[in-house]
Chains A and B, each alone.
Chain A
Amino acid sequence: MRRRLSTWGIRFALLAFMILALGPIVWGLITSFTPTSALTQTPPDLSLESFTLDNYVDVLVSRGNLPDALFDSAVVATLTASLSLVLGSAAAYALARLKVPGSNKILLAVLATQMFPGIVIAIPLFIVYSQFRPLGYSLIDTHLGLSLTYLSFTLVVVIWILKGFFESIPPQLERAAAVDGASTFQTFRLVVLPISLPVLFATGVFAFIEAWNEFFFAIILTRVDVKTVPIAIAEFSGQYRTLYGEMLAAAVLASIPVVLLAIIFRRFIVKGFVEGAVKG
Chain B
Amino acid sequence: MAPALLVLLGVLAYPIGASLLLGFQDATIAGGGVTSEWIGLGNYERMLSDPTFAIALRNSLYFTFVEVIAVVIISLAVALLLNHLGNRSGFFVVILLIPWALAPVANAVLWKWIYNANYGILNTVLLQLGLIDQKVVWLGDPFLALNMMLIADSWKAVPFITLLLLAGLQNVPSQLYRAARVDGASTWARFRHVTLPGLRVPILVAVVLQSIWALKVFDLVFVLTKGGPMDGTVVLNFLAWRVTFNFLDLGYGAAIANVLFGIMFILALIYVRALDPDRKRRRPAAE
Contacts and interface: CB of A to CB of B under 8 A. Distances in A.
Interface of A: 10, 13-14, 17-18, 20-22, 24-25, 27-28, 31, 39-40, 42-44, 83, 87-88, 90-91, 94-95, 98, 100, 104, 108-128, 130-131, 148-149, 151-152, 155-156, 159, 209, 212-213, 215-216, 219-220, 229-230, 233-234, 236-237, 244, 247-248, 251-252, 254-255, 258-259, 261-263, 266, 269-270, 274-275, 277-280
Contacts of B241: 119, 122, 216, 220
B76 interface: no
A42 B99 CA distance: 29
A280 B277 contact: yes
6 contacts: A28-B113, A44-B124, A111-B272, A117-B216, A237-B223, A278-B201
B20 to A, nearest CB: 8
A124 B18 contact: yes
Contacts of A258: 101-103
- Which secondary structure dominates chain A's binding surface? helix
Contacts of A244: 113, 116, 119
Interface of B: 1, 3-5, 7-8, 10-12, 14-16, 18-19, 22, 32-34, 78, 81, 84-85, 92-106, 108-114, 116, 118-119, 121, 124, 155, 159-160, 163-164, 167-168, 201-202, 205, 209, 212, 215-216, 218-219, 222-223, 237, 240-241, 244-245, 250, 253-254, 257-258, 260-261, 264-265, 267-269, 271-272, 275-278
B167 A43 contact: no
B4 A116 contact: no
Contacts of A248: 109-110, 113
Contacts of B103: 212-213, 215, 229-230, 233, 251, 254-255, 258
Contacts of A110: 8
Contacts of A280: 275-277
B96 A116 contact: no
Contacts of B212: 115
B102 A116 contact: no
B2 to A, nearest CB: 8
Nearest to A127: B34
A212 to B, nearest CB: 7
A189 to B, nearest CB: 15
A124 B277 CA distance: 34
A27 B89 CA distance: 24
Contacts of A259: 97-98, 101-102
Contacts of A42: 119, 124
Nearest to A88: B4
A205 to B, nearest CB: 11
Contact of A43 (B19, B112, B124, B215): B124
A270 B93 contact: yes
Contact of A234 (B85, B92, B205, B222): B222
A45 to B, nearest CB: 11
A94 B2 CA distance: 10
Given A115-B212, A275-B167, A123 B267 contact: no
A87 B3 contact: yes
Contacts of A275: 164, 167
A115 B101 CA distance: 19
B3 A215 contact: no
B16 to A, nearest CB: 6
A113 B8 contact: yes
A152 B11 contact: yes
Contact of B7 (A116, A118, A155, A219): A155
A40 B117 CA distance: 11
Contacts of B258: 120
A263 B98 CA distance: 8
